[in-house]
Amino acid sequence: MHEPFFLRGTLLYSSSPDTIEILDDGWLLCRDGKAAGVFRSRPERFAGLDVLDYTGKLIIPGMTDLHVHAPQFSFRGLGMDLELLDWLNTYTFPEESKYEDLSYAEAAYESFVTRLTRSTTTRACIFATLHLPATLLLMQKLEDAGLSTYVGKVNMNRNCPGYLREISTNQAIRDTERWVVESRERFSHTKPILTPRFIPSCTDDLMYALSRLRAKYDLPVQSHLSENLGEIEWVKELCPRSKFYGDAYDQFGMFGGGYPCIMAHCVHSNDAEQELMLRRGVYIAHSPESNMNLASGVAPVNQFIDRGLHVGLATDVAGGSHESMLRAMMHAIQASKLRWRLLDQSVRPLSFERAFYLATMGGGQFFGKVGSFLDGYELDAVVLDDAGLEHPQPLSARARLERMVYLADERNIAAKFVSGRKVL
């Protein structure tokens, strides 16, 4: 393990959903890859330690993208004229089928991983495609980049074109098991997560078989939930015994409760569905830009936080057009204001503090103690340089951070650390 060291600069990190701790000239001690104290000056007893000096720059916790589709990165910013189910059939499935070809996957995944590395994201929960070789290729690239991720080989065997469908349930389970075993052997910070695409893409027998595999290898699960009204109606027809969409996953044993589970979107989750997510500890991946692009709606994200649900932010590329979690924060705030103004005054707009919390600590929790500089948290950190964004007067650290969310891009990211490892 590396020697302990200090990061010096302007530190900003959440200690709760509504509180950002700020040290204008702060010293963050990193020991064994973890945050081991923040100080206003260097303590005498640590006089000999190395200092990475970022004085004048902002140092924030790394961000967690709780839901993103790596193979869709190649068509981000395209095909924004359809709703979910038509969008999948028209643009998404044809694009994802290309990852059967490893040379296409090589080029496309290289650009995804490069851009992700240059972003504020240090952790991500990622959908690949159903193709096993391309999924392992993606995982190797993420491992080499030093990011900490969960990656899912997608499972889908119905209501999808023949060219993008598991050959049979048995074959799907054999492939998935082989992928779980191989990726666990090969990678240390790139982990497998079971990934049934969503209920409409998976037959009952596939879901039950995945649930058994989940238990055998104690795997986490990720999928999509209550994103689009047409999708929800369809699930009622496909699973007539379910009381609501989330209950359908639950009946298959694929809705958390004793193991980690992420559901993306939850735009239209009713009270009963939210109640079950709370009981099962399900994480909600709030994806505001995607929900606007696909005209899905706006999830009541402040209500989720008030009710004590686990929630984080997600780009959901290519439903979302950009890998930037700063943009995801901006879109979450903006969408919540329109929802409040136009739809429902009972759920207040999202504050800046809460948006920052969601992007760091809220989603980071899925990975353990991640997303803050409180003692014992994994040392995931991003150094932001706002020197080029001139302002006629000095600004407070809080104001500088807010401005970065609206104005920064990858050129403003000066350095990045994951569990104390420098990755950029």
Q: Which of 171, 183, 168, 170 is nearest to 217 (CA)?
A: 183
In 32-139 the beta strands, taken as DSSP E runs, fall at: 34-39, 50-61, 63-69, 121-127
Q: Which of residues 47-76 bind ligand GUN (CB under 6 A)?
A: 69
Instruction: Please tell me whether residue 92 binds ligand GUN under the rule CB under 6 A.
Output: yes
Q: Which of 27, 54, 179, 198 binds ligand GUN (CB under 6 A)?
A: 198
Q: Which of 84, 116, 139, 232 binds ligand GUN (CB under 6 A)?
A: 84
Interatomic CA distance for residues 29 and 36, integer angstroms: 5
84 binds, among Fe ion, ligand GUN, none (CB under 5 to 8 A by kind): ligand GUN
3-state secondary structure of 388: coil
Of the pair 56, 77, the CB lying nearest Fe ion is at: 77
Q: Which of residues 230-269 bind Fe ion (CB under 5 A)?
A: 264
Read off φ and ψ for residue 251, nearest 5 degrees: -65, -25
Helix (H) / strand (E) containing 141? helix 132-145
- With a CB cutoff of 8 Å and minimum separation 6, the contacts of 45 are none
314 binds, among ligand GUN, Fe ion, none (CB under 5 to 8 A by kind): none
Of the pair 17, 71, the CB lying nearest ligand GUN is at: 71
92 binds, among Fe ion, ligand GUN, none (CB under 5 to 8 A by kind): ligand GUN
* Least distance CB 198 / Fe ion (angstroms): 9
Q: Which of 96, 316, 378, 380 binds Fe ion (CB under 5 A)?
A: 316
Tokens of residue 371, six digits: 């997303």
Instruction: Please tell me whether residue 196 binds ligand GUN under the rule CB under 6 A.
Output: no
329 binds, among ligand GUN, Fe ion, none (CB under 5 to 8 A by kind): none
Instruction: Please tell me whether residue 323 binds Fe ion under the rule CB under 5 A.
Output: no
CB atoms within 10 A of CB 113: 21
Instruction: Please tell me whether residue 224 binds ligand GUN under the rule CB under 6 A.
Output: yes
* Least distance CB 233 / ligand GUN (angstroms): 14
* Least distance CB 350 / ligand GUN (angstroms): 20
In the complex, residue closest to Fe ion by CB = 316
Q: Which of 261, 276, 277 is nearest to 222 (CA)?
A: 261
Helix axis angle for 325-342 and 397-407, nearest 10°, is 90
Listing DSSP states for 15-51 in one string gives: EETTEEEEEEEEEEEEETTEEEEEESS--GGGTTSEE
Q: Which residues bind ligand GUN (CB under 6 A)?
A: 69, 84, 88, 92, 197-198, 224, 227, 290, 316, 319
